[in-house]
A = this chain, B = another copy of it.
Amino acid sequence: MSTDDERTAPEAEATTGTESLVSRLWAPPTPSRRGPRPTLSVDRIVDAAIELADAEGIAAVSMARLGKALGVTPMALYRHVSGKDELLARISDTIAVDPPTIPDGIGWRAGLELWMRAQIDMVVQRPWFLDLPLTTVLPGPRRLRWIDQAFRLLEGLPLAGGEKLTLIGAMAQHVLGEARVQAETLAADENPYDDLEATLQRWADPAHYPHLFAAMATAEEPSAPEQDDVGFGLQILLDGVEAYIARKAAERAG
């Protein structure tokens, strides 16, 4: 077990920016043997950063603020994290807590709905996640557990691996949008499309947006389904998946 001691650290492979970031998320921490006892650790840093973001939003997470919160010089953080990008990537992977346990016999459709709802809840509890640059939301160890579970839910369906991955991506994307609407609705006074109508009435020329104004003129029937029901968008997407599966199954049979 001592033949390749030093293999643990990632080699200098002239990696592209993004790829090296991903591999840094996966590389196991190398315990140091010499030198003073570290007062810091990657985990402590990331946890403090998340705490800070929870309290004041992601904009408050700067190296200076974070260092102060940890009672340490800003530059000390760079001993454990290659830069702010890695910090943000680690944050966004770390807040992807373990996926919920989804029972086995529940069926792919109900399972995926739970899967999506759980993710929406995650984002709603941490709205600042939506303010993270998307380039820092990368497949790390925690996030991949969600993807693994999604693959489990899709197991046995007549879909190619690539198709499944595409579907999972589409669902993850949808979750993002749904979570945004949800988060903005909860925060109130912030949803641009809620105030859209008022803004339009004030400024926009109906002649330029005839169909939009026509749709607005159609008063919402009281029997209309709940406007902010998360499930609506989910059902649309799941219906699409179901239709595709049915078509695929028919092809196989035919």
Residues of A within 8 A of B (CB): 16, 18-19, 22-23, 26-28, 130-131, 133-135, 138-139, 141, 144-145, 147-149, 151-152, 155, 160-167, 169-170, 172-174, 176-177, 180-181, 189-190, 192-193, 195-196, 199-200, 202-204, 208-212, 214-216, 218, 220-221, 224-225, 227, 232-233, 235-244
Q: What 8 additional pairs, Cβ within 8 angstroms, besides A18-B192, A144-B200, A162-B224?
A: A22-B196, A23-B199, A26-B202, A148-B209, A152-B211, A165-B215, A176-B177, A236-B243
Contact partners of A199 in chain B: CB under 8 A = 19, 22-23, 26, 139
Contact partners of A177 in chain B: CB under 8 A = 169-170, 172-173, 176
21 contacts between A and B (CB under 8 A): A16-B190, A19-B195, A23-B202, A131-B135, A147-B212, A149-B211, A151-B212, A151-B214, A160-B220, A160-B225, A161-B216, A162-B227, A165-B215, A169-B233, A170-B177, A173-B173, A176-B177, A238-B240, A239-B240, A240-B241, A242-B243
A221 to B158, CA, bound (A): 12
Q: Is the CB of A166 within 8 A of B232?
A: yes
Residue of B nearest to A232 (CB): B166
Contact partners of A209 in chain B: CB under 8 A = 144-145, 147-148
A148 to B155, CA, bound (A): 40
Q: Is the CB of A195 within 8 A of B22?
A: yes
Contact partners of A208 in chain B: CB under 8 A = 141, 145, 148
Contact partners of A134 in chain B: CB under 8 A = 130, 180
A240 to B27, CA, bound (A): 40
Contact partners of A133 in chain B: CB under 8 A = 131
A174 to B237, CA, bound (A): 10
Contact partners of A224 in chain B: CB under 8 A = 160, 162-163
